[in-house]
Structure 1
Amino acid sequence: MSKSSGNTDKNVTRKVEVAVIGAGTAGQNAFRQASKTVENIVIINDGFWSTTCIQVGCMPSKLLIAAADRAHDANHSEDFGIHTTTQIDGKRVMERVRDERSHFASYIKKQVDSWPENKKISGRAHINKQGLIEVNDELIKANKIIVATGSSPYIPDDWSDNLGDTLLTSDTVFELTDLPKSIAVIGAGSIGLELAQAFKRLGVEVTLFNRDKRVAGLKDDDINNKAIVCLNRELTMHLGSKINNVGTQTVEGEDMASAFIEYEDSAGKMQQWQGERVLVATGRRNNIEQLGIENLDVELDDKNRPKQLDKKTGQIGDLDVYIVGDANANIPLLHVASDEGYSAGNKVCKNEANAYIRPPATPFSIVFCSPQIVNVGMSLPEIQQDPELEYVIGRVSFDNQGRSRIMGVNCGLLHIYACKKTDRVLGASMVGPDAEYIGHILATAITNDISVKGLLDTPFYHPTILEGLRTALRDVQHKMEIPYQSQDAQEYSF
């Protein structure tokens, strides 16, 4: 898409059918798909030619969690009659995180290296008022533009200057060469919870702060309260606190300045925290503010989110402009970014009529803390706001669930929201063991329109944690007052 005039075109150094800006998950998928039918295409990228997931997100955080879980199991096995003493080598922990991250990144590098050099440009793109893409010394005219510039950590005003070298974000924390002695984690979303617990299990003194009395953005009050109970067994959390000031101060005998946080606790009392590092996990913001996307007649709201967004393809209205992945601030998850990039790459194909557009994925999120937190489908407030929905909530506690208790992971609660008229699962929220697997089963049921009865007709092996899912589904049926005939009408938990 271009607004350029004939005179301006004289300065154009390259004309392409499609320009992809950004080479993360969404951008790479868009480029690969469009390249199947579009020869005249270019991909422009600023920074590493990899993905947020591999470099600073999913993979390094799970590597840190894996080390933390090993340490936790070794240090908390007394109830099983196992007594051990562990020694945590912080330098080796962080070294393995980076080594394995490089291993995963090597596959992406191999793929990017296979692309023709004349179709790759390293540099920061800017769209000027003529609708042309400026990058390095080039001026590119593109008929169609796919924006996949990703996101960056959000840091409150002045915090970078006030905290200096003590400040960490999810983009920098994995570059630590050793574990800190103490850390404050600001934000109880997925990033904050996962890293706070991981550091705690690795012997770091951790304090978690959050403005709201909620964790992981949970919208079901009962699930939120249960999650807080479970997580409080390990973490020191100041929920409902308000941070008024952050900064650093010199500590005698220390090589590095110490960080401090002045905050008002949930009771309104002024408090102060002091420690080695502050990890800011207050969310991420999309990277389109400096791109000049407004010069393509793309309207953004006050949070830089594009208006008139087609969530299937990322297309903006009827413009030949597509904003996909974290850049559109829709659902910042890898599988969503992948699908959006794939669909946009197909949409810009010459044979657009036969382009395969992936439907929007069933909403699905996992927080990989322990116990895990999962949300699938519609949230409870969304369901309650729809007067046409007659719903019930199936419930199961994992506090005394057979296999969970055997394994010593018996803290959790599952709520399944189901429609009485259709016998279908609308959504679910859970904190508990094996939540990632239970979440996948429920997401599959919602996506493929499987009834509650259909789910209950499948086998549930004994003894497994997944039997808890069956209990919740049976509770759904009981509350729906739907007769259920089965040879296995009795639940045998243990």
Structure 2
Amino acid sequence: MVVGDIATGTDVLVIGAGPAGYVAAIRAGQLDLDVTLVEKEAYGGTCLNHGCIPSKALITASDLAHEAGNAEEMGIHADPAIDLEGMVSWKDGVVDQLTSGVEKLCKANGVNLMEGVAHFDGENTVRVSHGGEGQGSESIDFEHAIVATGSRPIEIPNFSYDDEPVLNSRQALALDSVPDSLIVVGAGYIGMELATVFAKLGTDVTVVEMLDEALNGFDPDLARPVKKRAKDLGIDFHFGYGASRWSEHGNGIRVEATSEDGEDTLEIDAEKVLVAVGRAPVSDTLELEAAGIETDERGFIPTDDRGRTNVEHIFAVGDVAGEPMLAHAGSKEGQVAAEVIAGEPSALDYQAMPAAVFTDPEIGTVGMTEMEAEEMGFETVAGKFPFQASGRALTTGHTDGFVKIVADEDAGFVLGAQIVGPEASELIAELGLAIELGATLEDIAATIHTHPTLSEAVMEAAENALGHAIHTLNR
């Protein structure tokens, strides 16, 4: 028996409870709007449940295990035993704590939570289908809607995620044993992060990438130390090849990879294969055409600097709205959308939007590169400080990489920064703040930084740009 259709109404309907959606819902609730948040699976979305948080938990655990087993130089001799099932259980505990916190925060801010799958039934109506026999569906009328349905891993031909040896990033993070060997298809940030995790856990890792380099899109100077470190960990790379098919072979599988021109092929044997070639928007289930919402050729929903779609009272935030596909960008977009709906003078500004890659070493970027700044017409000056000259980096045993700051030569305003090295994801925040506040090289150089810390490298890079660095040769 199906429960009869129920109709309800709300000021703001948010579809999807990931970092973009739940932030939008909470902010709208804080602004005294009646908010309904629809989620089909788990509060916190992919980021908290299957992406950012669980991957960083396993990165931390694998780093700890690897460092403990490779610290003879420091006088530490150990041979850690890896219990991946226990490691995953700990990771799941972290995830559960965060996702339950999201649910509590939503309720505390007056957000009405609803489980189900939503699709549009007009410009001001969605229908929510509830899972389970006899649960039925209901219609929700809204004044404004915010689409925050996120993204999913791209599946390539002949590599179905329904096949047991073929993994996407979500499945890889849920393994209960360490594979002896693993092929990673894709050398973007997801592929490189997970390749590093498994290599540190003892897996024999091979990376196959159609492009010519790892971490395409990042400055080669940033990617180079990451690739070198990966090779030191025993990761093999095959660039210029795309995975074309797989077959069972012995106790594992054999993956065939073909060059772009189709003339050369490779055959690589492994226990499993992880496909990490990017993510696609979850927009195909929403019946967007019923509301007149337009998408681009890849399914992303174009928006303006307020998060509005082509339908003025419907917004899209997070991965479903396209680049930058970053959790913190989605959260900001959700906040802005809620404020615009409430009549606040809010808009998006990506000038100081940071990005981080949690490889070994880490990468952190914000603002413009030197080349981008020059293309924008700036006369630039750049300062650089290597971690090899950092006392704190030396005491951690992690000295690969550098801090680079790009500024306007005349006024000294910071235009951008790139960091590769230990704790780059944390260090980049200071430089994001510098850009946001319109700080100059002098401002950073004049700010006394605690010694001994990694953050001194930021100060030294600013001083290097000014020509008076103390602990490195000046430019």
Specify if TM > 0.5: yes
Residues 114 and 376 of structure 1: CA distance in aligned 2, closer, same or farther (over 3 Å): closer
What is the distance in 1 between the residues matched to 2:346 and 2:243?
A: 50
Taking structure 2 as the reference length, the TM-score comes to 0.88
Uncovered stretches (5+) of structure 2, i.e. residues with no partner: 130-136
Aligned with 1:175: secondary structure?
Answer: coil
Q: Does 1:205 align with 2:200?
A: no
Q: Does 1:450 align with 2:449?
A: no
What is the distance in 1 between the residues matched to 2:472 and 2:228?
A: 27
Q: Does 1:66 align with 2:65?
A: no
Question: What is the deviation of 1:116?
Answer: 6.9
Cα deviation per residue 1:263-289 (whole Å; 9 max; x = unaligned)? 247997532111111111111111112
In structure 1, the partner of 2:224 is 225
Correspondences of 1:355-370 after superposition (within 5 Å): 359-360=349-350, 362-370=352-360
What is the distance in 2 between the residues matched to 1:407 and 1:130?
A: 57
Amino acid at match of 2:392: R
Residues 426 and 414 of structure 1: CA distance in aligned 2, closer, same or farther (over 3 Å): same
Taking structure 1 as the reference length, the TM-score comes to 0.85
In structure 2, the partner of 1:8 is none
Count of aligned pairs: 461
Q: Does 1:55 align with 2:45?
A: no
In structure 2, the partner of 1:128 is 121
What is the distance in 1 between the residues matched to 2:77 and 2:113?
A: 56
In structure 1, the partner of 2:69 is 75
What is the distance in 2 between the residues matched to 1:333 and 1:452?
A: 28
Question: What is the deviation of 1:107?
Answer: 1.4
Q: Residues 152 and 280 of structure 2 are in contact (CA less than 8 Å); yes or no, is this contact kept in structure 1?
A: yes
Cα deviation per residue 1:133-175 (whole Å; 9 max; x = unaligned)? 12223233322111111111111133107x7111111222222
Percent of aligned positions that are identical: 27
In structure 2, the partner of 1:234 is 233
In structure 2, the partner of 1:293 is 288
Question: What is the deviation of 1:317?
Answer: 4.7
In structure 1, the partner of 2:454 is 465
The answer to which of 99-108 and 278-287 deviates more is 99-108
Q: Residues 19 and 327 of structure 2 are in contact (CA less than 8 Å); yes or no, is this contact kept in structure 1?
A: yes
Q: Residues 167 and 279 of structure 1 are in contact (CA less than 8 Å); yes or no, is this contact kept in structure 2?
A: yes
Amino acid at match of 2:115: S
Q: Does 1:342 align with 2:322?
A: no
Q: Residues 324 and 337 of structure 1 are in contact (CA less than 8 Å); yes or no, is this contact kept in structure 2?
A: yes
What is the distance in 2 between the residues matched to 1:213 and 1:413?
A: 24
In structure 1, the partner of 2:423 is 434
Question: What is the deviation of 1:452?
Answer: 0.3
Residues 423 and 175 of structure 1: CA distance in aligned 2, closer, same or farther (over 3 Å): same
Question: What is the deviation of 1:450?
Answer: 0.8
In structure 2, the partner of 1:4 is none
Residues 491 and 286 of structure 1: CA distance in aligned 2, closer, same or farther (over 3 Å): same
**1:491 is matched with which residue: 446, 461, 471?**
471
What is the distance in 2 between the residues matched to 1:417 and 1:239?
A: 33
Q: Residues 225 and 361 of structure 2 are in contact (CA less than 8 Å); yes or no, is this contact kept in structure 1?
A: no
Q: Residues 226 and 412 of structure 1 are in contact (CA less than 8 Å); yes or no, is this contact kept in structure 2?
A: yes
In structure 2, the partner of 1:91 is 85
Question: What is the deviation of 1:250?
Answer: 4.8
Residues 196 and 317 of structure 1: CA distance in aligned 2, closer, same or farther (over 3 Å): same
Q: Residues 197 and 235 of structure 1 are in contact (CA less than 8 Å); yes or no, is this contact kept in structure 2?
A: no
Cα deviation per residue 1:376-398 (whole Å; 9 max; x = unaligned)? 11134432422x21112322333
Amino acid at match of 1:288: S
Question: What is the deviation of 1:114?
Answer: 5.4
Residues 384 and 296 of structure 1: CA distance in aligned 2, closer, same or farther (over 3 Å): farther
What is the distance in 1 between the residues matched to 2:260 and 2:67?
A: 32
Q: Does 1:376 align with 2:371?
A: no
Residues 53 and 188 of structure 1: CA distance in aligned 2, closer, same or farther (over 3 Å): same
In structure 2, the partner of 1:103 is 97
In structure 2, the partner of 1:149 is 149
What is the distance in 2 between the residues matched to 1:144 and 1:122?
A: 19
In structure 2, the partner of 1:178 is 177
The answer to which of 337-346 and 79-88 deviates more is 79-88
Cα deviation per residue 1:45-84 (whole Å; 9 max; x = unaligned)? 2122333221011211111112111111111112223222
In structure 2, the partner of 1:323 is 316
In structure 1, the partner of 2:133 is none
Residues 126 and 437 of structure 1: CA distance in aligned 2, closer, same or farther (over 3 Å): closer
What is the distance in 2 between the residues matched to 1:265 and 1:110?
A: 51
Aligned with 1:92: secondary structure?
Answer: helix
In structure 1, the partner of 2:132 is none
What is the distance in 1 between the residues matched to 2:270 and 2:241?
A: 18
Question: What is the deviation of 1:457?
Answer: 0.2
Q: Does 1:425 align with 2:414?
A: yes
Superposed CA RMSD = 2.8
Q: Residues 434 and 466 of structure 1 are in contact (CA less than 8 Å); yes or no, is this contact kept in structure 2?
A: no
In structure 2, the partner of 1:279 is 274
In structure 2, the partner of 1:7 is none
Q: Residues 219 and 380 of structure 1 are in contact (CA less than 8 Å); yes or no, is this contact kept in structure 2?
A: no
In structure 2, the partner of 1:333 is 326
Residues 339 and 152 of structure 1: CA distance in aligned 2, closer, same or farther (over 3 Å): same
Residues 152 and 34 of structure 1: CA distance in aligned 2, closer, same or farther (over 3 Å): same
What is the distance in 2 between the residues matched to 1:315 and 1:221?
A: 35
Aligned with 1:165: secondary structure?
Answer: coil
What is the distance in 2 between the residues matched to 1:380 and 1:18?
A: 42
In structure 1, the partner of 2:195 is 196
What is the distance in 1 between the residues matched to 2:107 and 2:143?
A: 26
In structure 2, the partner of 1:305 is 300
Amino acid at match of 1:346: E
What is the distance in 1 between the residues matched to 2:6 and 2:49?
A: 34
What is the distance in 2 between the residues matched to 1:78 and 1:441?
A: 34
Amino acid at match of 1:463: P
Question: What is the deviation of 1:454?
Answer: 0.6
Aligned with 1:180: secondary structure?
Answer: coil
Question: What is the deviation of 1:358?
Answer: 6.4
What is the distance in 2 between the residues matched to 1:116 and 1:221?
A: 47
Q: Residues 16 and 45 of structure 2 are in contact (CA less than 8 Å); yes or no, is this contact kept in structure 1?
A: no
The answer to which of 426-435 and 105-114 deviates more is 105-114
